[in-house]
Amino acid sequence: MSAAPPPTGQPPADNRRAWWGLTVLLLPVLLVSMDVSVLFLAMPTIVDALDPSATGQLWILDIYGFLIAGLLITMGNLGDRIGRRRILFLGAALFGAASVLAAFAPSTALLIAARALMGVGGATLMPASLALIANMFPDGRSRARAIGIWTSAFAGGAALGPVIGGMLLHHYWWGVVFLINVPVLAILFAVGPFVLPEYRSPSSEPFDVIGVLLSMLGLLPAVYSVKSLATEGLSTAAVITGLFGLAMLLTFLWHESRTPAPLLNLRLFRNPIFSAALAIALVGIMVEAGIAYLANVYLQSVLGHDVLAAALAGLPMAITIAVFSITADRVARLVGVRAALVGSVLLAGIANFGYLAMTPSSPLWIFLLISAVAGVGYGVIFALVTDVVVGAAPPEQSGAASAISETCFELGTSLGLALLGSIATAVFIADREGRGFSDSLGETLKQASELGSAGQATIDAARAAFVDGLHVAAGVGGSALLVLAAVVLAALRGATRP
């Protein structure tokens, strides 16, 4: 298929077909974001049905994210080469087939394999959908609005995943959380060919196969190392794996600076707003993901809410993220990109300090208010960062550029769980001296509850110790965002939007 016409020949921003196309593109985005969160809810029933080992449980949860993080850059570039709509449909087909395989998997090994295939398919969906948005909305204002809607759909999917999953699991077996992907993808295949344009790069340069291998050898071990440190603590294997991944990433960057058709266009990083946007994506999602994980434990193990109630408590933040993702470009036009980026990071940082007000017996409305305010900042951050990154690249490289931002989000999520989770755990362990705590709050509560009323003092002390850890992690996360805001403010002085 020939390359698409230049931007002047693309559909105008107000074209009805383009907006219908955006509606269709939201479907795979919802699925990818839902699939990350819904599985946490289904794991107890999966454990009962398949009886996986502790290692097997971790691989069921993590293999999907590993492959998405490791393949985003490769799939973004591949879509630019062979066609963005084509790779979107290929990835959706693989994702759907793997979902059916996962739903009826009779063993742990087969479920892990199916999750791996879902990760390969999912890695095509995110960069392809963003790159198609860049084609369908060449006008900057309309593109920003479309990306804001795309971002809000991603946030909404992550929040709705546990709610929908909880309702379905109440009536059906665990495989239903995978089967819900099939009818959604059926709509994509039925409508997509009529409303989504095709685009592929006119480049005749050979595909950077060495870059693909080096990126995977760097990203996969790096992500594995971070997740291993987050779940199992410091170990020799995790450190060695992480150092190997870092060495491969440095080799990848060296190769990309020399090859004629790189996977990663290093020239984009010369623009300070582009580089600042990626730094904000990495640190912003790191803090948001880390605190979200700790807050979920707080809601269930400290305040005593069940899984579905905890999922519903996450909706106010999801709503503010969604609303302010859509209005992020309006904010940027009103105050400027630099002020919008700095202000949103600052607001998210200040909101994180609000978690210091939470106690083991706080009313739920305090958490709802703090998380909703934080969502305002994160909504502007995520939408504006994505728009800046996608808009910085030439049309033939928008798939690769969108993959860079998505990779930052994936790495930031892993780092948040590892760093902030480790900080909270360290505080919890430091508080256990002489109190009979185990290594985690969950284990401590289980053991103390078996003692009846004699264990109540241990339960109260363990919950207070966990809240202490949450306070320290929130303080560190908020401080990181405030420092980042100051650095970005200084770095972007006089910079222009790419």
**Are 418 and 229 in contact, with CB atoms under 8 Å apart?**
yes
Please say if the pLDDT value at position 436 is more than 70: no
Please say if the pLDDT value at position 229 is more than 80: no
Rounded to 5 degrees, φ, ψ at 467 are -60, -35
pLDDT, tens digit, 9 for 90 and up, residues 233-262: 677 888 888 899 899 989 988 988 888 777
Rounded to 5 degrees, φ, ψ at 317 are -65, -40
Q: Same domain, yes or no, for 114 and 21? A: yes
Residue 212 lies in a domain: no
Rounded to 5 degrees, φ, ψ at 423 are -65, -45
> How would residue 9 be classed by pLDDT, with cut points 50, 70 and 90?
very low
Last residue of one domain, picked from the residues 207, 241, 257? 207
> How would residue 11 be classed by pLDDT, with cut points 50, 70 and 90?
very low
Residue 497 lies in a domain: yes
Helix, strand, or coil (residue 242): helix
Last residue of one domain, picked from the residues 160, 180, 207? 207
Residue 445 lies in a domain: yes
Residue (of 165, 158, 175, 161) closest to 115 by Cα position:
175
User: Which uninterrupted H or E stretch holds 471?
Assistant: helix 456-491
Phi-psi region of 250 (alpha: psi -120 to 50; beta: other; left: phi over 0): alpha
Q: Same domain, yes or no, for 195 and 316? A: no
In the 8-state DSSP scheme, what is residue 206?
P
Predicted pLDDT of residue 440: 67
Q: Same domain, yes or no, for 278 and 190? A: no
CA distance 232 to 295: 20
Residue with tokens 């919802």: 30
**Are 165 and 38 in contact, with CB atoms under 8 Å apart?**
yes
Range(s) of the domain holding residue 342? 268-498
**Are 480 and 315 in contact, with CB atoms under 8 Å apart?**
no
Predicted pLDDT of residue 93: 93
Of residues 433 and 347, more confidence is placed in 347
Residue 219 lies in a domain: no
Report CA torsion sign: 334, 337, 339, 344.
positive
Q: Same domain, yes or no, for 178 and 323? A: no
Residue (of 376, 381, 330, 358) closest to 464 by Cα position:
358
Residue 355 lies in a domain: yes
pLDDT, tens digit, 9 for 90 and up, residues 373-404: 998 999 888 888 888 877 777 666 677 777 88
In the 8-state DSSP scheme, what is residue 259?
-
Q: Same domain, yes or no, for 201 and 303? A: no
The one-letter amino acid code at 295 reads A
Q: Same domain, yes or no, for 348 and 477? A: yes
Residue (of 361, 347, 371, 353) closest to 296 by Cα position:
371
The whole-number average pLDDT for the span 213-223 is: 84
pLDDT, tens digit, 9 for 90 and up, residues 82-121: 888 899 999 999 999 999 999 898 888 899 999 999 989 9
Residue 213 lies in a domain: no
Predicted pLDDT of residue 94: 94
Please say if the pLDDT value at position 188 is more than 80: yes
Q: Same domain, yes or no, for 74 and 183? A: yes
Minimum mean pLDDT range among 39-48, 330-339, 360-369: 39-48
Q: Same domain, yes or no, for 343 and 458? A: yes
Q: Same domain, yes or no, for 98 and 4? A: yes
CA distance 406 to 396: 18
Q: Same domain, yes or no, for 171 and 311? A: no
Q: What does pTM read for this prediction?
A: 0.78
CA distance 255 to 3: 27
Average pLDDT of the chain, as a whole number: 81
Predicted pLDDT of residue 437: 65
CA distance 289 to 63: 18
Q: What percent of the chain has pLDDT over 70?
A: 88
How large is the C-alpha radius of gyration of the chain?
22
CA distance 179 to 8: 41
Residue 241 lies in a domain: no
Last residue of one domain, picked from the residues 187, 207, 227? 207
Domain count, the chain: 2
Q: Same domain, yes or no, for 173 and 301? A: no
Q: Same domain, yes or no, for 307 and 196? A: no
pLDDT, tens digit, 9 for 90 and up, residues 121-156: 988 888 888 888 888 887 777 888 888 888 888 877
The whole-number average pLDDT for the span 345-372 is: 91
Please say if the pLDDT value at position 197 is more than 60: yes
Of residues 349 and 38, more confidence is placed in 349
Tokens at residue 477, please?
Answer: 């996360």
Residue 318 lies in a domain: yes
CATH label of the domain that carries residue 196: 1.20.1250.20
